[in-house]
Amino acid sequence: MGLKPLGRFTGSLAQRVYGSLKEAILSLTFAPGDILRKTEICAALGVSRSPVAEAVARLQAENLVTVVPQAGTYVARLSMREVREGAFLREALELAAIEVVAQKITEPQLVELRRNLRVQAAHIADHDFAGFYQTDAEMHELILSYTGFKRLSLLAESAWVHVNRARRLILPSPGRVEQTLEEHKTILMALEARDPAAARAAVQVHLGQLLTLLEPIATAQPNLFDAD
């Protein structure tokens, strides 16, 4: 079914089932609109129905699955309304964060970001979109962590959950990963210069690409999206 083994996740059995299912949904391994058959999930993960039901209830609360009585459980379709809201919240957090970080970033932190960008370039060379996506996310998490605010990454992740699936539709677009890397390099250059205004502008340009690129995809593939 494309589910990651439970050993890749931590927590109780239900939490690990939740982690495996959520990863499959966010990565589009389970596409918007796909039916989730609990018996198949139980067989694939080697668990009983109880932890699967608990995991599905949690995913339903996050609007990642839709449970239709007497019909079944489905992966929720993407919602442009939720994507726009998530993008707005994430941009507000990241713009505030980058200004703080630009004023106090340390050389070891810059080294960490440079190393991350080198790995991004390697993923591009290998045509590894999943690897690039993960390293891209890690770069943003690093920058947020440099603020010193421990809850910021959790807030950003919560705001970004519906955007994460949508972004997976964009990265395979011709030239998009290469352009994303260039945008990341511009952010890094502004941080190296310790220039808060330039860093803010670079992040704003970078995050602003999302909706510009996603709107045509929503029009071209309406089966993946709810009619908001």
Q: Clarify whether residues 60 and 90 are in a common domain.
A: no
pLDDT at 1 over 80: no
Could you tell me which residues come within 8 angstroms of residue 216 by beta carbon, excluding any fewer than 6 positions away?
none
Q: Which domain holds residue 154?
A: 80-224
Cβ contact 75:65 at 8 Å: yes
**Residue 198 vs residues 31, 182, 203: alpha-carbon distances, Å:** 38, 15, 9
122: in domain: yes
∠ CA 84-90-95 to the nearest 5 degrees?
Answer: 125
Q: What is the mean pLDDT of the chain?
A: 93
Q: Clarify whether residues 22 and 87 are in a common domain.
A: no
CA separation for the pair 163, 166 (Å, rounded): 5
Tens of pLDDT, residues 38-60? 999 999 999 999 999 999 999 99
Tens of pLDDT, residues 143-185? 999 999 989 988 888 888 888 888 888 877 889 999 999 999 9
**Residue 102 vs residues 30, 37, 118, 197: alpha-carbon distances, Å:** 38, 48, 21, 9
Tens of pLDDT, residues 176-215? 999 999 999 999 999 999 999 999 999 999 999 888 888 8
State whether residue 151 is helix, strand or coil: coil
Cβ contact 24:34 at 8 Å: no
Task: List the CATH number of the domain containing 30.
Answer: 1.10.10.10
CA separation for the pair 44, 3 (Å, rounded): 7
Q: Clarify whether residues 184 and 93 are in a common domain.
A: yes
Q: Clarify whether residues 69 and 150 are in a common domain.
A: no
Q: Clarify whether residues 17 and 101 are in a common domain.
A: no
